[in-house]
């Protein structure tokens, strides 16, 4: 029995490997502080859990769900997009699709649009699924480097003409994983114009749309006039409402993009459990005070990490969005070497920047998903062994 050759091109999923290393060390009795994985650690809000109790008792939720999502879910999603972003006119039948979180929808978009030899334009560093899904579909990924000097935004002028003409998808993700960078509507306008020029489907992974700090509110690419002509946007309730394990999200925007994704989904999965969709509708009604209480937890943790790193010599600014802090490694270390040092000397797990692409070399990523107490302890462990930043 032999694996398909495509698997030889795909490394183990970054967080699966991190989990494996953690399990090994825990078995050896090491007290591990895991600052690597971006999974919310707080419970789902009570009113959402109560909605699940009610929905699951209703026999009408027990049969197969509609592939595109229930009518109620799609209408509620359209209302949420209008209330949150001012995006109006989304048609629930042709421009909205439920998804099992966002990861599967991202992958299925590649299956719908990418053929052997097609280019995909993907951020580097970026969510690993963009690159692996390109491999699965036989396409060629063209990395768009995200550099600090450009505020971790891709420079569209560096994309060769021949690549742009053969590209099917262009992926962006703001607030960004892993850099924590944010983007303006003006930049989104540039992206929409570029993708229209070359007939590229613009895909905005907006999983962190609500994870923003200091009063910042991330925009939707669909706020750009005529963006629906060329763009689709992927949302997930995982981070916004502490619902990572519930696996619910949605995709909105260009009708052709939604149609292609829906055609793949109807042949691969059977939709999202109707009771979970009912819970998502309940989540949309979460009051702003409760949402802000969720965000404030992460903002306080962000500040602990930033201040702690600054006390160790890092000159670093607090990110305005996402669940992550993107940190340069000290001089003389590669990403992997410094991550290994933190693990061996401090029992701290962080994600190496090069796990998100070649342009991530020289950085590591900290996730804001453990308690402030454990974050203070992580900083103290680094102090105790003499780890400091030197440029």
Per-residue pLDDT of the chain in tens (391 residues, 90 and over written 9): 888 888 888 877 666 777 787 788 888 888 999 999 888 999 999 999 999 999 999 999 999 999 999 999 999 999 999 999 999 999 999 999 999 999 999 999 999 999 999 999 999 999 999 999 999 999 999 999 999 999 999 999 999 999 999 999 999 999 999 999 999 999 999 999 999 999 999 999 999 999 999 999 999 999 999 999 999 999 999 999 999 999 999 999 999 999 999 999 999 999 999 999 999 999 999 999 999 999 999 999 999 999 999 999 999 999 999 999 999 999 999 998 999 899 989 999 999 999 999 999 999 999 999 999 999 999 999 999 999 998 7
Q: Which two tokens stand for residue 383?
A: 């102090």
Phi/psi region, residue 105 (left: phi>0; alpha: psi -120 to 50; beta: rest), is: alpha
Same fold, 5-43+289-384 and 46-284: no
Sign of CA dihedral 358, 352, 331, 323: positive
Cβ–Cβ under 8 Å, residues 236 and 207: yes
Cα(241)–Cα(26) distance, integer angstroms: 30
What count of other Cβ atoms lies within 10 Å of the Cβ of residue 288? 7
Pairing of strands 231-236, 249-253: antiparallel
Assign domain 5-43+289-384 one CATH number from 3.30.420.40, 1.10.630.10, 3.90.1150.10, 3.40.50.1470: 3.90.1150.10
Q: Which two tokens stand for residue 220?
A: 């939707």
Q: Residue 298: how many CA atoms within 13 Å on its side-chain side?
A: 32
Q: What residues does each domain of the chain span? A: 5-43+289-384, 46-284
Q: Which two tokens stand for residue 20?
A: 């494996």
165-193 pLDDT, tens per residue?
Answer: 999 999 999 999 999 999 999 999 999 99
The CATH class, in words, for 46-284 is: alpha beta
Cα(341)–Cα(343) distance, integer angstroms: 5
In order, the DSSP letters of 330-363 are PTT--HHHHHHHHHHHH-EE-EEGGGG-GGGTTE
Q: Which two tokens stand for residue 232?
A: 């689709």
Cα(196)–Cα(199) distance, integer angstroms: 5
């Amino acid at each position: 029995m032999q694996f398909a050759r495509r698997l030889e091109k795909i490394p183990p999923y970054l967080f699966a490997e991190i989990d494996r290393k953690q399990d090994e060390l825990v078995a050896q009795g090491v007290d591990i502080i895991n600052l690597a994985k971006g999974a919310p650690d707080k419970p789902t809000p009570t009113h959402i859990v109560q909605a699940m109790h009610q929905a699951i008792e209703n026999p009408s939720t027990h049969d197969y769900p509609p592939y595109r999502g229930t009518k109620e879910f799609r209408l509620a999603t359209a209302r949420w997009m209008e209330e949150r972003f001012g995006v109006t006119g989304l048609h629930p039948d042709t421009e909205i699709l439920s998804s099992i979180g966002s990861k599967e929808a991202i992958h299925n978009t590649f299956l719908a649009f990418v053929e052997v030899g097609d280019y995909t334009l993907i951020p580097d560093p970026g969510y690993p699924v963009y690159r692996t899904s390109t491999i699965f579909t036989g396409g060629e990924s063209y990395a768009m480097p995200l550099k600090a000097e450009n505020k971790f935004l891709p420079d569209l002028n560096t994309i060769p003409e021949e690549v742009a003409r053969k590209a099917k998808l262009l992926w962006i993700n703001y607030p960004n994983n892993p850099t924590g960078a944010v983007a303006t509507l003006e930049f989104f306008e540039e992206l929409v114009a570029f993708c229209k020029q070359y007939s590229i489907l613009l895909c905005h992974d907006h999983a962190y749309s609500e994870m923003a700090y200091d009063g910042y509110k991330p925009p939707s690419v669909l706020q750009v006039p005529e963006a629906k002509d060329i763009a689709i946007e992927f949302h997930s309730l995982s981070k916004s409402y502490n619902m990572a394990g519930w696996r619910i999200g949605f995709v909105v925007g260009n009708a052709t993009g939604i149609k292609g994704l829906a055609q793949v989904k109807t042949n691969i999965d059977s939709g999202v459990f109707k009771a979970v969709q009912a819970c998502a509708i309940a989540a949309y009604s979460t009051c702003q005070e409760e949402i802000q209480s969720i965000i404030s937890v992460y903002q306080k943790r962000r500040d602990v990490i930033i201040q702690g790193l600054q006390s160790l010599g890092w000159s670093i600014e607090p990110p305005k969005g996402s669940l992550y802090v993107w940190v340069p490694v000290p001089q003389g270390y590669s990403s992997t070497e410094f991550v290994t040092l933190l693990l061996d000397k401090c029992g701290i797990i962080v994600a190496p920047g090069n796990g998100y692409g070649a342009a991530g070399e020289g950085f590591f990523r900290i996730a804001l998903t453990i308690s402030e107490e454990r974050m203070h302890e992580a900083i103290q462990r680094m102090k105790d062994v003499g780890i400091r930043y030197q440029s």
